[in-house]
Amino acid sequence: MESVLENTVPMQTEQAGVQATMTEIGNRNTSLQGNAIPDNNCNINEKKSIPKIKNSRRISTETLGKLPPGETDLEKLVPLEPRRRKGSLQAAKIAAPAQKVIDPRDPGRIIYPLDIVFCVILLAAMQGKTSCTEIAEFWHQCRPLLSKTFPNFPDEEISHDTVRRITMIIGKDKNAALIERFVEMLRSRLSHPVIAVDGQAIRASRDSSQHSPYVLNIMDADNELILAQQVIGEKNNEITHASKLIDTLDIRGAIITADALNTQTEFAAKIIAEKADYCLALKANQDLTYEQVRGFFELGTHEYKIARPSVTDQGGKITKRKTRVLPGALLPEEILNKWVGLDEGSIVEAVTDTVKKNTGEILGPQVRYYISSLRYDAPNVEQVLHRAIRQHWAIENKGHWALDMAFNQDRLQCTNAQYLAGRTLLNKIALNFTTKIQTRLEETTGKEAPSKPVIRARLNKIEDMLAAMNDCIRI
């Protein structure tokens, strides 16, 4: 063990204290001053004489301290605050939100502190290790560095069963706010953020009836951070849970986007009540509203507000997107009475044309319709809606796809709801940190950040990963 403070007694005293002779102490004028006590410049491999003690026994780091002048009895140590490594300070900052997790275990019998295990699971996930067995192996392989990084790191190895039990604790409903505490550490506040709502199937966890459990996700599309989640069982349950999940967040001033499944009058009313705006997709499930909106754009008898087209060249495809906007007040009164905010809002047509570069094949056009509470007479409303519709797809491309590819979420086989909730929540926290690391790299270099697998490869050392994660924390 290294010496850590000036004027401190070395930790290992059992044998050395007994072997120290009175001659050695006398040559030093029977004093503890001088070289009997190592200073910060000492070589930890050098043999140093140890003062005679009355009771020779091992002393824990918590009792490390300083003796009064001329005193040799280690029972009279004056405790000092131990010096903590930089890595331990970084780890403590990251693990701090987990200290508020409600732990049902008997405090007197806890071997594995929840915040330490949480942080190790998170670090393992950042390196693509998400199964309980992989995390237990990560704990074993990285033990030397982990024990230096975390104060009071457990001496025992951890089993995959223990990892599973602690993941289940994190997955309990009352601990769902854990992800929000991390978001507050990472999120940059914007005036009108686009917040996307969508569900994701965990396909490998299908039950005997071939039903895949669904996780409802809410994402800040501008910051590319997942804000909240809820395990909902089946896809149709999104309708009842979306409003409840929105209710847990501060969405004031935001634009909430959702697919056609969540285009419900109750959901729209909830968004307006929370002082936000909605932009909701229309399909045949809202048959009357859908037919009316489509009819106004197909007739072409009104003057549109047209957004500037956007063009992307990606994945061997060139995609052009066009958006036209009309006032919501055109709709019949029976429809306007159902949708809060639509009478002053907007109806939207979004057209996507795609061309394959290698063959010239034209895909499309794809035409989608939306209703929105954003005021039609607001400045640049067409551009705002064009951007909101485009940003909604971030939850698919940069949320769900990234979780499946980088964190193997689509391979998660689980029938326990609490474990499923805990595992997916931990994946999202790891994804949020990885995304923020990409953002920080782009801010500092002015170049496009490497992909998530490349970042994982570059930050393969725990100390580098901790440093990068701490650099992302705003507070």
pLDDT above 60: residue 351: yes
**Span 151-162, average pLDDT:** 92
pLDDT above 50: residue 194: yes
DSSP 300-338: --SPPEEPPPEEEEETTEEEEEEEEEEEGGGS-HHHHTT
CA distance 446 to 449: 9
Question: Domains of the chain (ranges plus CATH)?
Answer: 1-83 (no CATH), 178-403 (3.90.350)
* Phi, psi of 336, deg, nearest 5: -60, -30
CA distance 385 to 391: 10
CA distance 457 to 23: 57
pLDDT above 80: residue 59: no
Tokens of 236: 């149709």
pLDDT of residue 425: 92
pLDDT above 60: residue 320: yes
Question: What digits encode the pLDDT tens for the residues 201-240?
Answer: 886 555 555 567 888 999 999 999 999 998 887 766 778 8
> What is the separation of C-alpha 281 from the centre of its chain, rounded to a whole number of angstroms?
27
* Averaged confidence pLDDT in the chain: 81
CA distance 221 to 390: 10
CA distance 343 to 346: 8
pLDDT of residue 475: 55
Low-confidence winner among 13-27, 140-154, 333-347 (lowest mean pLDDT): 13-27
Give the CB-side neighbour count of residue 320, counting CA atoms within 13 A: 10
Low-confidence winner among 72-76, 77-81, 164-168, 257-261 (lowest mean pLDDT): 77-81
Smallest CA-to-CA distance from 262 within 211, 324, 195 is with: 195
When pLDDT is cut at 50, 70 and 90, the band that residue 383 belongs to is very high
> Residue 194, SS3?
strand
pLDDT of residue 210: 56
**Span 422-446, average pLDDT:** 91
pLDDT of residue 5: 35
pLDDT above 50: residue 442: yes
